[in-house]
Amino acid sequence: MGVLMTPDFEQEKELENQYVMHTYGRKPVEFVEGHGMKLVDSEGKEYLDFLAGIAVLGVGHSHPKVVAAIQEQAGKLIHVSNYYYANGRGELAKKINDLMNVNIPEEQVFQTFFANSGAEANEGAIKLARRYADMVGKKDSKKIMYLNKSFHGRTLATLAATGQPAKQDIFRPLPDGFVAMERNDIDSFTSYVDSPDGADVCAVILEPIQGESGVWPCSAEFLQALREETQKRGILMILDEVQTGFFRCGTYPFCFQHAGIIPDIVTLAKSIASGIPMGAFVARKEVAQAMQPGDHGSTFGGNQLAITASLATIDAMIEENVGQNAEEVGTYLKAKLEGLPDVTEVRGMGLMLGVQFAHPIAVDVVMKGLDEGLVLNYTGEDTMRLLPPLICSKDDVDVLIEKLQEIIPQVLA
């Protein structure tokens, strides 16, 4: 065999067009290197990254501690399977337990199942909720309630729990047993579960901030009321923190901690391992014990490489106090965004912000931003979403705002 040659950008586009399924509308750039807040494309052009691989790179691109840990582990052992103990798996689960116990009313023991993605984590959480219903003698209580505008994944079950018909309709029939409710409307929940049709609800699943539909926060009051009402009825509360977790929302490790509640199950992914595929669902021990050997599994979940990447990532987050940085820089960024032309609202917490425009210019702003060396994201024609690495500085924000002050009037003209 000859030496494997890396194709140039035009060759890469041709190869992908021919041999890769067209499930994404790719932007016209190929990134080949990244460090901290910066990305470099195949032509050597630098960009400031305000997307972070869709909230994945919490400590930035190619963090030295994470890179060194991955390199060392890859040279020793990558994978053997979950039939055996793995060095570091228990340590990682303990770290997650400790993070889960920050700023909640009563200390809990949380147990973790390691998966490979957010969708898998949400699938597992749904299975656990139904398995728990069996364990407590509610074998006919299998319905899951979810919020309109939510997004929980692209598998069939997680699509069924996703409140976006445009993503669901082409894949019907979807699994049954899923019922929609409204965000920040506790009566939407209680009126259904207290009706004859709601007697078989076992759990509710929701994102504390709905990311994919445009950064729509659940209020602390709603989360607190929902926790109270679910506890009264013996209904589990599943929080999808795939996007909001690991200090994304500032100060605390997880968004639910800002409301001071204790959920039953929490799903994680994205920032958990700096881009090495990993997800997890975490449950209070008395709920987690419903899962027995053979009830759930994963070939790759929690393998040695992913564990190592996650341990190094979480250590870096804590050592560098990224939660406090996300709080301070997020507040600064929000204020700056609110002063931009055509911006009517800025939603979110920490470094998870949605920018609402008065006109349908988000797509043009994102594309023009790419030309100007900014990696941005839109979730709709009039909504831009910002999810920078949690190491983002006020200087980075100043560069972003200066460029947006030029870009927005151009696309409005």
Pair (266, 373) in one structural domain: no
Residue 20 exposure: Cα atoms within 13 Å on the Cβ side? 11
Listed as own residue / partner, the contacts of 362-366 with beta carbons closer than 8 Å and 24 or more positions apart are 364/411, 365/404, 365/407, 365/408, 365/411
Residue 67 lies in a domain: no
Residue 3 lies in a domain: no
CA-to-CA distance for 331 and 346, rounded, in angstroms?
A: 11
Pair (196, 213) in one structural domain: yes
Residue 356 has pLDDT above 80, yes or no: yes
Pair (148, 270) in one structural domain: yes
Pair (49, 160) in one structural domain: no
Note down the domain range covering 340. Answer: 9-59+322-412
Residue 273 lies in a domain: yes
Split at pLDDT 50, 70, 90, the class of 6 is low
Pair (305, 332) in one structural domain: no
What's the confidence (pLDDT) of residue 303?
98
**Residue bearing tokens 């009126």:** 191
What's the confidence (pLDDT) of residue 146?
98
| Residue that finishes a domain, picked among 265, 298, 319 | 319
The DSSP-derived string for 329-397 is: HHHHHHHHHHTSTTEEEEEEETTEEEEEESSS-HHHHHHHHHHTTEE-EEEETTEEEE---TT--HHHH
What's the confidence (pLDDT) of residue 1?
35
- Measured over the CA atoms of residue 273, residue 303, residue 298 and residue 282, the dihedral's sign is negative
Residue 64 lies in a domain: no
Pair (327, 270) in one structural domain: no
Residue 176 lies in a domain: yes
- Main-chain dihedrals φ then ψ at residue 40, nearest 5 degrees: -125, 130
Pair (34, 85) in one structural domain: no
What's the confidence (pLDDT) of residue 3?
44
| Residue that finishes a domain, picked among 276, 299, 319 | 319
| Residue that finishes a domain, picked among 296, 319, 342 | 319
Residue 405 has pLDDT above 70, yes or no: yes
What's the confidence (pLDDT) of residue 2?
41
Residue 142: CATH number of its domain:
3.40.640.10
- The predicted-structure confidence for 219-238, as pLDDT tens digits, reads as follows 999 999 999 999 999 999 99
- The predicted-structure confidence for 57-89, as pLDDT tens digits, reads as follows 999 999 999 999 999 999 999 999 999 999 999
Residue 4 has pLDDT above 70, yes or no: no
Residue 25: CATH number of its domain:
3.90.1150.10
What integer best gives the mean pLDDT of the chain?
97
Residue 26 lies in a domain: yes
Pair (182, 124) in one structural domain: yes
Residue 377 lies in a domain: yes
- The predicted-structure confidence for 277-293, as pLDDT tens digits, reads as follows 999 999 999 999 999 99
Give the residue from 130, 129, 104, 100 showing the smallest Cα distance to 112: 100
Average pLDDT (197-201) is 96
Pair (33, 78) in one structural domain: no
Pair (229, 346) in one structural domain: no
**What is the separation of C-alpha 123 from the centre of its chain, rounded to a whole number of angstroms?**
14
Pair (214, 281) in one structural domain: yes
Residue 4 lies in a domain: no
Split at pLDDT 50, 70, 90, the class of 7 is confident
Beta carbons within 8 Å of 185's beta carbon, 6+ residues apart: 222
The total number of structural domains in the chain stands at 2
Average pLDDT (312-318) is 98
Is-contact 167 151, C-beta < 8 A? yes
Residue 5 has pLDDT above 60, yes or no: no
Pair (248, 334) in one structural domain: no
